[in-house]
Amino acid sequence: MSVQKEMKEPIDYGDPAATSGISVFDRNFDELFSYDGEDLGLTYSASGSAFCLWAPTAQEAELVLYPSWKDAAQRQIPMMRDVRGTWRLSVPGDLDGMFYTYRVRIGELWNEAVDPYARAIGVNGDRGAILDLRKTDPARWTQDKPPLEDPVDAVIYELHLRDLSVHPASGIKHTGKYLGLAEAGTRGPEGIATGLDHIASLGVTHVQLLPIYDYATESVDETLLTEPHYNWGYDPKNYNAPEGSYASDPYVPGLRIRELKAMIQALHDRGLRVIMDVVYNHVYDGFRVNFTKLVPGYYLRYKQDGRLSNGSGCGNDTASERRMMSRFIVESVLYWAREYHIDGFRFDLMGLHDVGTMNEIRRRLDDLDPSIITIGEGWVMDTELAEDLRANQCQANQMPGIGHFNDGFRDAVKGNIFLHDQKGFISGGFGFERNVKAGIAGAIYYGPGLGQYAQEPQQSVNFVECHDNHTLWDKLVLSTAGAEDEQRRAMHHLASAMVLTSQGIPFIHAGQEFLRTKDGVENSYKSPVEVNWLDWERCAEYAESVAYMKQLIALRAAHPAFRLRTAEEIRDHLVFEDAPAQAVAFTLRDHAGGDSAEHLYILYNANPEGAALKLPELGTWDIVFGEKQISGLEGGILTAAGIGMIVLAVN
């Protein structure tokens, strides 16, 4: 791991006597004070509880015990300084049901903070909670998971918990809650399946949940849940405890844990794995966060002039390159994987992390369960870390087994997300064919002039819509003035088809299957629920589009040629064929990936006037998909009618 570059200490971060004169910004601080013991945080038992706090810059430390989430302190007990910046205390007796915090003296000031390692918390996460975690396991809580042979076999469905169930026609009882996603048998307008039944019926393999860890009270106040308020949750407060606003009662610390586990078990029982969206790259407030109260200056990155680094755009960046921050991130991920049986992690703004931390996460997860997926936003971003250490697409070759969202493919398909009126391949734009081909090939180096960042296809997460930016439908409305909605539906269907038939990991946004709209709102992170909810009336209205998405997912599942495991296989079996402008064609040859079809021919046609293409002479071509798009198939010539995807096969 790299060490943060040394800077002049701009602020008094405590009496240097506590650390023998070594500043938190000194290159030697980690060497002298990083701690590798396994007992940080709370170790509970009915006979007594042990507390271990890492706070090397503190002159004094205390444990504060509370009888409830709101009452005054019952006891303040001094902790004993121990090795390498740790403080310890053992309290006899059963503390189950109590709440706790730490107080530390930094210079002349006392700071009170929640234990960063707290695994249970009170309402709004302002106090840690002491409980027996085994009592939070639901009645059915198994280690069994749906099978997954390779990351490219995944089809990811991104979902915000509240969005799923708050629409008045959702038919879901536990609206906006963990248990809402666990409900089966729910029905909506015209008797359509909603909620979990709807998701399972699509054929996806993974549900990716927007943040479910405890996030800031300023975003959602857990004591005011009867009032309408909404947030995506990208403002972490307590990393190792679930968010209480999704629980049926946020005042009961163990209940949010039990209900989240019950939801995960329900998903597993329906053949769905769970990916957790994690936001370790920044905290909700760099000055008020527990990390800063306990060890000021250590956990975050700073500029040379003493200001916080802000590559995240959220006011601060965490210093993942520092040992105890890196250790915290790695162990937090492992905790969620072990305690909650999480099947994958999506790293928000992963490009702000360091390569070493991401590789350590992947190594430790491989030891635990190699089928756990790791993907992230490998955007190239500015932060106070050497460029070659940043975990972005430029360093993908140093991070095997970690997927990156393929923004190049996204923008080629639908147009630049920041230039709202710009067309992409599907919407009549010109000159996008080469970038489309790069995405089809899974972002690997395919050949001269064609390649992106990936070493293997599992490093490319293919998408055209996610919670960020405009939905695909809204982008099409903005960029295709004068077009009829019927033509926009054809464009939308083609975009989804391209995602599901390209090499790599396909990713779809909840509601993409029924042309989700947010009424043109680009950044709906705190918009009213009416903007963000899954509109089940729209789902019923666009039942044909839902059926089309199901057919695409089934097509991918039926043909391993779309799920090639290695770059070598792709180069050996994928051949790009001649096609006119506004069209891309390719074949997957010679039983690619063990496919039952000897050869597959795939055409993406974005020309509304249609196209005629000469088929490769590999045998007799039969129609597999897109029959309605075909106006002619004879004499070795395929004639496509309008915008859409066609798949043929030689069997």
H-assigned helices in 417-566? 433-440, 472-479, 485-501, 529-532, 536-541, 543-558
Rounded to whole angstroms, the Cα distance separating 352 from 319 reads 9
> In the structure encoding, which two tokens stand for residue 160, read together?
């915000």
Residue 293 neighbours by CB under 8 Å, 6+ apart = 104, 111, 112, 113
Cβ–Cβ < 8 Å for 275, 343 = yes
Short-list 506, 619, 563, CA closest to 157:
506
CB 615 within 8 A of CB 638: yes
Task: Count how many Cα atoms sit within 13 Å of the Cα of residue 415 in the half-sphere of its side chain.
Answer: 25
d(Cα 275, Cα 157) in Å, to the nearest integer? 9
For residue 213, which amino acid is it? Y
Q: How far apart are CA 313 and CA 372, in angstroms?
A: 29
User: Which amino acid is residue 607, in one-letter code?
Assistant: N
587 bridge partner residues: 575, 601
Decide: 376 and 402 in contact? Cβ < 8 Å. yes
Contacts of 397 (CB under 8 A, 6+ apart): 453, 455
Per DSSP, the residues of 287-336 read: TTSHHHHHSTTTSB-B-TTSPBP-TTSSS--B-TTSHHHHHHHHHHHHHH
Q: Which residues contact 412 (CB under 8 A, 6 or more apart)?
A: 424, 425, 432, 435, 436, 438, 439
CA distance 195 to 202: 11
Q: Which residues pair with 109 in a beta bridge?
A: 106
Q: Which amino acid appears at position 495 of this protein?
A: A
Q: Which of 13, 35, 15 is nearest to 24 (CA)?
A: 13
Cα–Cα distance between 280 and 300 in angstroms, integer? 11
How many residues are recorded in the chain? 651
Apex CA 328: angle with CA 264 and CA 112, to 5°?
A: 100
Residues 205 and 273 sit within 8 Å (Cβ to Cβ): yes
Catalytic positions, written as ranges: 348, 377
DSSP code of 342? -
